[in-house]
Amino acid sequence: MPASEDLLKRLGVTIDSETLRLALTHRSYAYEHGGIPTNERLEFLGDSVLGFTVTEYLYHRYPDLPEGDLAKRRAAVVSTRALARVARELGLGPYVFLGEGEKRTNGADKSSILADTTEAIIGAAFLSCGTDAAKEMVLRLVIPLIDEVENLGAGIDWKTAIQEVAAARKLGAIRYVVEGDGPDHARVFTATLTIGGDSYGSGTGPSKKEAEQEAAAVSWRQLNPDQKAQA
């Protein structure tokens, strides 16, 4: 695989070439190449490693926070938006094996694909390097997000926040355009928010509600670039 060593250097781990290729194989590519294995099982594994690692870190870092606040912080860090951001900072998109249809629709920069691939990479690191190395990689990648957790908006109802801004500025009616993609067991929704007929932010998530919340959060920041939201 060309340039795989450069990717591994950015990740800071050593993953064997076969496992790395599997982690980078999207279902669209697998379907077009005779139904070869996809990265979805590694994604499932990586999701568990990610969740446990972040939970353990937050538990020790915030000894006085109640369970609900810890859960909100974890949700902000392991969200599709956060993981896609990690993937973009790593430059992961060009390495993902995609089918022709996904290539034509810029699949290499779709948040859902990037987030899923990030989780698959974590699963691959766990298999190739063991628990400690995988956890160290996860923390190295997501600690910057944990440090910015307030800016990520843990606990904020973004749909209410954007309604308040739109009403205060008399921008017009708010509408969410939501589309779903993928099989029923792995459905991904994309929401685009419009205010007064003008398009603002978009968001993705495993449910319509989460996609709309992310779209509202992105839109709020577009309208308030110099402000920090208060939870």
Active site positions, annotated: 47, 119
Partners of 199 in the β-ladder: 194
Size (the chain), residues = 231
Annotated binding-site residue numbers: 43, 116, 119
List Cβ neighbours of 203 (8 Å cut-off, separation of 6 or more).
80, 81, 111, 190, 191, 210, 211, 212, 213, 214, 215, 216, 217, 218
Annotated binding-site residue numbers for Mg(2+): 43, 116, 119
Please name the helix (run of DSSP H) or strand (run of DSSP E) that holds residue 203, with its range, or none: strand 198-205
CA distance 204 to 94: 20
CA distance 194 to 230: 23
- Give the max Cα distance, the chain: 56
